[in-house]
Amino acid sequence: MDRRDFLKLSAMAPVAGGLLLLPQGVGARGIPAAALGERPAGLCYQAPPAGAIAATLKDLFKIGPGPSSSHTVAPIRIAGNFRAAVAALPGDQLARAARIEVTLFGSLSATGKGHRTDRAILAGLLGQQPETCDTALMDALHDTTQVRTTQIGGKQFELSGATLVWDLGDHAFPYANTLIMRLLAGDGTSIFEREYYSTGGGFYTWKGEPPPERGQPVHRFGSMTQLQERATATGLPLHRIMLDNEMAIMGIGEPEVNDHLDLVIDTMDRGVTLGLTEEGPLPGPFVLYRKAKRINEQAAKADGGEAFMGELSSFALAVSEGNAAGRLAVTAPTLGSAGTMPAVLYTLNRRMQVPREALRQGLMAAGAVGLICKTNASVAGAEMGCQAEIGVASAMAAALLAQATGASPQVTENAATIALEHHLGMTCDPVGGFVLIPCIERNAFGAIKAYNAWLIAKNEIASQHWEDLDRVIAAMAEAGRAMPARLREMGTGGLGVTLVEC
Ligand code: SF4
């Protein structure tokens, strides 16, 4: 239904106390302006254009070492891409090469040491892959004075902290998280270089990158409205649409899709299990103690809501603490927000005994929400604040809960919408640039809000819900663009300032 049709329907809707009511049985797509009286001219929501999301669940749910997908997972992948590109250079160019230099800009530079970006780049240049990364090596790379060697294209290179240049000035690159990797000759001239952008959630691209060679999606959609229209037109559930697209774009079968989803489920589950056994301080420049185990033990002694909320929070804390310590986690949609979805997933899996197939379907619906948010706004704290990380994670977790428990597409969307709506405006202000405060506890709140969003969505009359996901995503994008840079993962605003003694 377009806006005009909706206004016509609204005009026919019942009136109570002078207020327009949403017609029964009609999906909510915007509150009629007529209900609100005088408004400034020109305030109009623009729906996303028709499009096709070509990113996949495999792109979204990546496994890699913490603490930050944009600052660790993407840099490892970027360094691996550069390594492969250098190895493919003609022999005469490689013969002139003397060293590799990496210059970091924006948030990567401002908070990269706290986020382990230096270690991630060195690990990637040493040939590590995110999903199989040796986390002990990542710990050892803390000593950036140590010189390590690697062979690329048959040529030996030395790598150390001196490989990195931290450019702390303003920049005009199109993405907040930019790094330039250069292969230099002995006289310092550039033989080969690429300008890379870490775009959030472990995604990256580079200047002039050709479009990837992939299949076309079976179902074309660029927003939740378009996805819902596709579901209505085909009679397919949301997860089936996602599955069809995943297979078509990646050129794989259902068993391979399930293998990846199972790896995601098992990694999330293991993150909770391990995190609940650990105690003591987390690595970082100030002493922050783990608390997941203690919160879990206290929840086990409590009753009712205190028991449930304590347990759900402890699951999120467990994964986030592991992520802060550099353990492998799943980008959902990022590693800073890696604890929110596992808390809900663990609850569905271990407490509610939801079958594996339903968990996969839930992940697919959550993936749809994450990909739509990334396409129409962002999932990077450096671009749009924490609303784009924990807010999107909470929306994904709410969709996971709804879909895995058999909710309709409308209820699933409403649950995601409610969760995201109540994170709007949340800034990214990590203390010292470390993914510790406020990040770890924020994951617990993301999980609690997801659960509450699901409760509201499944118990209200779905068609009476005014807000829709696309409009809330548009509000997130507007709030993100209005947010000052210091409140977008620079570590120089908000709690990053007020919690630090001068
Ligand atoms: S404050 Fe939020 S967005 Fe920023 S690093 Fe922490 S979890 Fe990520």
**Which three-class secondary structure string do you get for 182-211?**
EEEECCCCEEEEEEEEEEECCEEEECCCCC
Least confident of 6-10, 266-270, 314-318: 6-10
Structure confidence by residue, pLDDT tens digits, 446-472: 999 999 999 999 999 998 888 999 999
pTM of the model: 0.89
Here the tokens at position 327 are 């353990």
Task: Give 284's strand partners.
Answer: none
Whether the bond between 333 and the residue before it is cis, its omega within 30 degrees of 0, is yes
Percentages helix, strand, coil for the chain (3-state, rounded to 5) are: 50, 10, 35
Residue 5 has pLDDT above 80, yes or no: no
Closest-CA residue to 417 (of 365, 381, 340, 345): 365
Domain ranges of the chain: 3-35, 67-200, 215-494
Here the tokens at position 288 are 């922050």
Residue 4 has pLDDT above 80, yes or no: no
DSSP 162: G
Least confident of 136-145, 176-185, 270-279, 326-335: 136-145
Answer yes or no: is the C-beta of 390 below 6 A from any ligand 1 atom: yes
Residue nearest (by alpha carbon) to ligand 1 atom 6: 439
Q: How far is Cα 189 from Cα 24, in angstroms, rounded to an integer?
A: 69
Phi, psi of 445 (to 5 degrees): -70, -35
How many A from CA of 384 to the centre of ligand 1?
Answer: 10
Q: Based on DSSP, count helices (H) and strands (E) in the chain, helices before strands.
A: 20, 11
Average pLDDT, the chain: 92
Answer yes or no: is the C-beta of 389 below 6 A from any ligand 1 atom: yes
Q: How far is Cα 496 from Cα 486, in angstroms, rounded to an integer?
A: 9
CB 201 within 8 A of CB 331: yes
Phi, psi of 479 (to 5 degrees): -65, -40
Q: How far is Cα 305 from Cα 313, in angstroms, rounded to an integer?
A: 12
Domain 67-200 is in which class? Answer: alpha beta
Check residue 20 and give its pLDDT.
Answer: 52
Phi, psi of 154 (to 5 degrees): 80, 0
Closest-CA residue to 328 (of 337, 318, 341, 319): 319
Which atom of ligand 1 lies nearest, measured to the CA of 386? Answer: 3
Which atom of ligand 1 lies nearest, measured to the CA of 427? Answer: 1
Q: How far is Cα 334 from Cα 298, in angstroms, rounded to an integer?
A: 29
Structure confidence by residue, pLDDT tens digits, 265-308: 999 999 999 999 999 999 988 999 999 999 999 999 999 999 99
